[in-house]
Amino acid sequence: MPETIIELRGVHKAFAEHVVYRDMNLQVYTGETLTVIGGSGQGKSVCLKLMTGLLRAEQGEVLFDGEDVGEMGQRQLVALRRRMSMVFQGGALFDSMNVLENVGYALKEHTKMSDAEILARALECLELVGLGSDPNLIYRMPASLSGGMRKRVAIARSIAIKPEVILYDEPTTGLDPMNCNVIAHMILKLQRELGVTSIVVTHEMPLAFEVSDRIAMLHDKHFPFQGTPDELHRMSEPAVKDFIEGRVEEGDEGHGA
């Protein structure tokens, strides 16, 4: 039995009237890549934000390494985020800072590294995400980067602090197929080379099947279907089959709000 690093137990989360999770349970094992799939607007990203403490659950526990994230104060959250970083949908790079300042941001906040050390670490991270060839890149502003580059810089920013867990929120949304492949390879590569635990939220099945050790499918406000990619392929539940094969489920279209 592998070690559990993150565990969500009986989580209930709602925004006003809109219930996102009801009695939801999910486990993440150390070192694995878990992909969370499900339709748009069902609250897959909420799951990541619960894990990193950006949102709090109304009921239930969100445990990281045995400690309840929901109970953490500011200082403990900072310590948590030293170990777990998040790659946001669209990158969420800071518009007012250049690439170097973006990638070095967490190092400036968390460590006492000198500017030279931060520069060296930033270049190392950009190299890891395949952006090491252009020496002037670090002085460019996010607005001047392409979508694929922005995502990669965002990944570089998240790994700069050497986290144990990386949360990817829709890492390939809005990218062309080639860039999607690049990102998928990068997720695999980072997991291999850094040994991190990765949690990927996506609705793109090729990505999910390519990078995952396990897949959890969000359905009816919890994760009833969990398993390896092969197991998911073999499942006979119509909901799973429909989703994987991209068929529209009757009456399920309205959930996209």
Q: Which residues bind other proteins (CB under 8 A)?
A: 49, 52, 54, 74, 77-78, 81-82, 85-86, 88-90, 92-95, 105-106, 109-110, 157, 161
Beta strands in the chain (DSSP E): 4-15, 18-29, 33-37, 59-64, 67-68, 84-87, 165-169, 197-201, 214-219, 222-227
Q: Which is nearer to other proteins, 44 or 157 (CB)?
A: 157
Q: At its nearest, how many Å lie between other proteins and the CB of residue 90?
A: 6
Q: Which is nearer to other proteins, 105 or 225 (CB)?
A: 105
Residues with Cβ < 8 Å from 206, sequence gap 6 or more? 180, 184
Q: Which is nearer to other proteins, 1 or 143 (CB)?
A: 143
The token duo for 34 is 């878990």
Cα four-point dihedral sign 33, 34, 40, 41: negative
Helix (H, G, I), strand (E, B) or coil at 227: strand
Q: At its nearest, how many Å lie between other proteins and the CB of residue 246?
A: 26
Q: At its nearest, how many Å lie between other proteins and the CB of residue 168?
A: 12
Q: SS3 for 151-170, per residue?
A: HHHHHHHHHCCCCCEEEEEC
- How far apart, in whole angstroms, are the C-alpha atoms of residue 183 and residue 84? 19
Q: At its nearest, how many Å lie between other proteins and the CB of residue 108?
A: 9
Q: At its nearest, how many Å lie between other proteins and the CB of residue 93?
A: 8
Q: Which is nearer to other proteins, 105 or 223 (CB)?
A: 105
Q: Which is nearer to other proteins, 24 or 159 (CB)?
A: 159
